[in-house]
Amino acid sequence: MSVVEIYTQLGSAMAGLMFVWAMYERYFPYQLQAYVQRYSQKLVALVSPYFQIIFDEYTGEDLRRSDVYAAIQSYLSANSSMRAKKLKADVVKDSKSVLLTMDDHEEVTDDFNGIKVSWTSIKNNPKNNSYTFYPELDERRYFKLIVHRRYREIIVKSYIDHVIKEGKAVSVKNRQRKLYTNNPSKNWYGWRATKWSHVVFEHPASFDTLAMATKKKEEIKNDLIKFSKGKNYYAKIGKAWKRGYLLYGPPGTGKSTMIAAMANLLNYDVYDLELTTVKDNSELRKLLIETTGKSIIVIEDIDCSLDLTGQRKPKKGKDEDDEGKDPISKKKKEEEEESKKSSEVTLSGLLNFIDGIWSACGGERIIVFTTNYVEKLDPALIRRGRMDKHIEMSYCCFEAFKVLAQNYLDIESHELFAKIQNLLEETKMTPADVAENLMPKSENEDEETCLKKLIAALEEARKKAEEEAKLKAEQEKEKATEEEEKEKESGKIKENGFISNGNCKLSEDSV
Ligand SMILES: Nc1ncnc2c1ncn2[C@@H]1O[C@H](COP(=O)(O)OP(=O)(O)OP(=O)(O)O)[C@@H](O)[C@H]1O
Ligand SMILES: [Mg+2]
């Protein structure tokens, strides 16, 4: 037989096979095809020296995206992207870098202690033609790991753990940090509806730029770092891996800035929880479950968020205590009252949120409360163990001023510093006000002008404080004199055989 004849016969055999395959695909019922496929795969598995593990993208009854799948994806993107022939590119980190991941149906190999492992990324499209609302869930994506049977134990016991751990580390390195806020529960349902909305977290605050006494700042920083490295320690002492911080102090002393600095120091996400939009305790729990680890959950102005005394106060009459308020504050107050009314979150619900059994899910979470009025809070809410660390954010001290001078004017010392130090010791001014005075308002304003501006503002504040103190002293003196006179009066009346009862005087006989 000549070569040409051999080729001709091979060609017709191939064509015949393709025809049979096409007929099989077209006329053989789909259910039967699946059946045949399943059994042929089982047959192959019986004789093949390899075994495989499948990692689906969506798992569980509620079809959540699997963390393991995400970790494998990150691991393979970092370790095998150079070897895959087809890659997908995703933009990460504010469009500054590109993350390469394996494209569908690509195969790469990995080496683990000399063992060759093969990974394939697979996407199966649904074969039925029915219309679906959720196409992403219908197409099945998964990673297939294939390795020789003789390594089964080492792969199952060590390699998979290694992949997940490394993959998670890669995700942390590449991830964009997020600032979340809770959606009102009426928007929680429907395709792609989530309980939290997010934007990229880009606050520039850091502990270096935070104005406060150096010793206190270092203490907080060390506390945070110790917490973030404390996984084993918390497991050893049998405590959930979380920590509560209470930041209190007057407005403008840097409470919110401190939260941003904490998130930047630890590379955590921030969940800004607006309690007034949470309807009840069960919603609060659902929100908690949806938060991820490595995050800070923040409840700002906890004293205003809700009536958390455990008992709801009766609503005040509409005009009571509203008098003398401008229309904007009146409206704001009405809105606040309205949202407080619509929220049924109770103190015990919030306590459960912080340290109930549910709060342990996820781990590595920090809870921060801020308030301007620490004395208004229920002691149960802020006892140690719940709010482990209480941090007072106070008025600007000289050390804090020096940080601000460095931030705003790039100076470490100046002859006017001594005067400012004296003034700061005598006067209360928030870091926000100090910063505002130090910020040059035009190109002509040099550091000396800004420092003088601050001195003028401090002197003004001192004068005002002195006047207020004087006024208060006078008022107190007046009050004391009034009380003294009243006492004298009542003494006189008693001497004359009368006792006083408001406006009417009664003789002893008539009592
Ligand atoms: N300790 C600080 N260090 C650096 N900047 C500060 C500090 N305190 C205040 N600032 C500046 O003042 C601004 C207001 O501060 P911030 O919002 O953190 O205050 P706050 O204590 O959260 O106030 P509020 O109680 O009203 O929420 C910030 O944008 C920041 O620029
Ligand atoms: Mg604030």
372 lines ligand 1 (CB under 6 A): yes
Domain membership flag for residue 484? no
pLDDT band at 400 (very low <50, low <70, confident <90, very high): very high
Domain membership flag for residue 168? yes
Statement to judge: residues 103 and 32 lie in one domain? no
Q: Among 53, 55, 51, 54, which residue's Cα sits nearest to residue 148?
A: 51
Q: Among 299, 460, 452, 303, which residue's Cα sits nearest to residue 377?
A: 303
pLDDT band at 131 (very low <50, low <70, confident <90, very high): low
Q: Write out the two tokens for 383.
A: 């006892």
Find tokens 């995700």 and name the residue.
171
211 lines ligand 1 (CB under 6 A): yes
406 lines ligand 1 (CB under 6 A): no
| pLDDT of the residue at 161 | 94
Write out pLDDT tens, residues 14-64.
777 877 777 777 777 777 777 777 777 777 767 788 888 999 888 776 667
Among all bound ligands, the one having the nearest atom to the CA of 258 is 1
255 lines ligand 1 (CB under 6 A): yes
Domain membership flag for residue 482? no
| pLDDT of the residue at 180 | 94
Q: Which letter does DSSP use for residue 89 in this model?
A: E
Domain membership flag for residue 499? no
Write out pLDDT tens, residues 116-129.
999 998 887 665 55
253 lines ligand 1 (CB under 6 A): yes
Q: Which domain holds residue 406?
A: 398-464
Q: Could you give the count of Cα atoms lying within 13 Å of 73 in the half-sphere of its Cβ?
A: 24
Ligand 1 atom having least distance to the Cα of 249 = 21
Statement to judge: residues 80 and 160 lie in one domain? yes
What's the 340 CA to ligand 1 centre distance in angstroms? 26
Provide the CA 383 distance to its chain's centre, in angstroms. Answer: 22
Statement to judge: residues 276 and 373 lie in one domain? yes
177 lines ligand 1 (CB under 6 A): no
CATH code at position 183: 3.40.50.300
254 lines ligand 1 (CB under 6 A): yes
What's the 198 CA to ligand 2 centre distance in angstroms? 19
432 lines ligand 1 (CB under 6 A): yes
Statement to judge: residues 231 and 272 lie in one domain? yes
Domain membership flag for residue 494? no
| pLDDT of the residue at 494 | 63
What's the 296 CA to ligand 2 centre distance in angstroms? 15
Statement to judge: residues 360 and 229 lie in one domain? yes
Statement to judge: residues 262 and 377 lie in one domain? yes
- Most informative mutation of 256, 258, 397, 429 for ligand 1 (most atoms within 8 A of CB): 256
212 lines ligand 1 (CB under 6 A): yes
Statement to judge: residues 196 and 272 lie in one domain? yes
Statement to judge: residues 105 and 54 lie in one domain? yes
pLDDT at 505 over 50: no
Write the residue with the smallest CA distance to atom 18 of ligand 1: 254
Statement to judge: residues 77 and 172 lie in one domain? yes
What's the 373 CA to ligand 2 centre distance in angstroms? 13
Q: How far is CA 116 from CA 146, 148, 424, in A?
A: 9, 8, 68
Between 315 and 53, the higher pLDDT residue:
53
Domain membership flag for residue 490? no
Statement to judge: residues 384 and 281 lie in one domain? yes
Q: Please say which residue of 176, 201, 236 terminates a domain.
A: 176
- With residue 470 as reference, give the H or E element that holds it: helix 447-495
| pLDDT of the residue at 81 | 60
Statement to judge: residues 216 and 288 lie in one domain? yes
Q: Among 473, 469, 471, which residue's Cα sits nearest to residue 461?
A: 469
Q: Is 59 helix (H, G, I), strand (E, B) or coil?
A: strand
Domain membership flag for residue 334? no
What's the 91 CA to ligand 1 centre distance in angstroms? 33
| pLDDT of the residue at 140 | 78
Write out pLDDT tens, residues 194-208.
889 889 898 999 999
Write out pLDDT tens, residues 214-231.
999 999 999 999 999 999
Write the residue with the smallest CA distance to atom 26 of ligand 1: 251
pLDDT band at 8 (very low <50, low <70, confident <90, very high): confident
397 lines ligand 1 (CB under 6 A): no
Predicted TM-score (pTM) of this structure: 0.69
Domain membership flag for residue 441? yes
Which distant-in-sequence residues (6+ apart) come within 8 Å of 382 by Cβ? 246, 369, 374, 390
What's the 384 CA to ligand 2 centre distance in angstroms? 23
| pLDDT of the residue at 29 | 75
Statement to judge: residues 233 and 298 lie in one domain? yes
Ligand 1 atom having least distance to the Cα of 372 = 25
| pLDDT of the residue at 87 | 66
Give the chain's domain count.
4
Write out pLDDT tens, residues 344-392.
788 888 888 887 777 777 788 999 999 998 888 888 888 877 888 999 9
Find tokens 């093949």 and name the residue.
48
